Amino acid sequence: RGSGTLSVIVRPYGDGLRLVLSQDVTERERAEAMRRDFVANVSHEIRTPLTVLSGFIETMSSLPLSEPERRRVLTLMGQQTERMLSLVSDLLTLAQLEGSPRPGSDRWIGLGPLFLRLGTDAKALSNGRHQLKIGEVGALELAGVETELISAISNLLSNAVRYTPEGGEIELNWRLAADGHGEISVTDTGPGIAREHLPRLTERFYRVDGSRNRETGGTGLGLSIVKHVMQRHGGELQVQSEVGQGSRFTLLLPPTRVRQAAP
Ligand code: ADP
């Protein structure tokens, strides 16, 4: 089971030989360490909002609060609850993405309506703080699981909105490459990401600046979800980023999953 290697080792034993079956221990240990880390991270991420909530409950039950104070505490409690809900929802998405794809769930999806919908969601999230540009999509279609592709693109857009300071530009675009593969990109003029962080961005709970990014409402699972969606579609996620200039996240889809719709 798993990706470990099973080796047969022949060793002298008494007057004869003994066959020893040995699984690649390092691989197994690494998988086990990753599982332990994951459980520890999830526990920590859930315990933090719960601790805050429990503090607020204590305050509300032991102190007489004015109406504005009571409202303020309820707002803060609501934010912590939202944070836990997003976390649980991202965990469920990841668990589903790690299972086998449901047979027959792929279909051809028009990029036009998809971009329209994602653009509207991003506008609502940005709330006028950024300049949003959505590329012309023409009649391009993608083959895949619609909910998964939406989740991948909207994770990239919500990151761009969250990390790009007010007044910045965010662009959702696509390109059909000469060799027939499709590219969907989200470009921002945000803070950018230093080179040493790039290889680790899709690790679960990896954040460039842990505490600051947690405050922006991210679960730390977004790019891990994007990577899984791309793997299931035979594609990949590419990141180009320059500190102080901005970032571009590109989803690459194989030619078999991209076509121009009949006019
Ligand atoms: P999070 O929920 O923390 O955003 P992600 O997996 O989506 O988690 O992203 C991982 C980290 O990558 C983020 O915490 C952030 O540090 C960095 N990141 C992602 N997108 C951007 C972006 N558009 N600009 C700058 N940093 C980004």
Give residue-wise pLDDT tens across range 127-174: 999 999 998 887 899 999 999 999 999 999 999 999 999 999 999 999
pLDDT of residue 165: 96
- Residue 15 pLDDT > 90, yes or no? no
Choose which residue among 151, 163, 240 to substitute to test ligand 1 binding: the one with the highest number of ligand atoms within 8 A of its C-beta: 163
pLDDT of residue 233: 96
pLDDT of residue 231: 95
Kindly state the DSSP code that residue 236 receives in the 8-state scheme: E
β-pair partners for 6: 23
Residue nearest to ligand 1 atom 16, measured at CA: 208
Give residue-wise pLDDT tens across range 23-37: 667 788 888 888 999
Taking the alpha carbons at both ends of the chain, their separation in whole angstroms is 49
Distance 102 CA to ligand 1 centre (A): 29
The residue type of 133 is K
H or E stretch covering 152: helix 146-163
Which stretches of the chain are assigned E, i.e. beta strand? 6-13, 16-23, 107-110, 131-134, 140-144, 169-176, 182-188, 236-242, 246-253, 258-260
Confidence check on the interface: ipTM exceeds 0.90, yes or no: yes
- Residue 91 pLDDT > 90, yes or no? yes
Give 138's Cβ-side CA count (13 Å radius). Answer: 12
Could you tell me the two tokens for 178? 């000469």
144: Cβ below 6 Å to ligand 1?
no
220: Cβ below 6 Å to ligand 1?
yes
- Residue 1 pLDDT > 60, yes or no? no
